[in-house]
Structure 1
């Protein structure tokens, strides 16, 4: 994902067109589940969508609070519900401020 980009994660083809093709059959992933932002400075943040992720989102077993960004680091495991997830790779910088 390029710097300055945002990726929506969910099963909705209109809301998350890039991820929906992969997640469409994952019943435990919500239509509008979470977003990942890769800032221009090189940090990455994941945010669970408020009133979206029925089965929750976790980073390294930490349950996310909707609408509160969590900074991602290399090697972090992000789980969308109990059966779908990914490991973070390629983070270069470690700024501390969440995206606005």
Structure 2
């Protein structure tokens, strides 16, 4: 990838020149410099792995009683819902019934 010295825009290749799409500035291409550049051309597509089913299992859990189903396990997460100088609020989601609540709701 090359950037224009005149305006800072990204340049594209046209033959043996780098050409700026914004201001039209041109710079000669140098094979030695370009040999260290990484391109996406010719790269093989990797295997796409769907993690959506395992995503819930990756969340941290803790021992806490659900008021809806009496299950004793819940996922938890911290969120900043007030001003930055205030502490985070912990949210729970029951691992059995999916009931959601905040730490101060109980």
User: Per the shorter chain, which TM-score range?
Assistant: under 0.3
TM-score normalised over the length of structure 2: 0.21
Return the index of the structure with the highest Cα Rg. Answer: 2
TM-score normalised over the length of structure 1: 0.22
Higher relative contact order (CA 8 A, sep 6+): 1
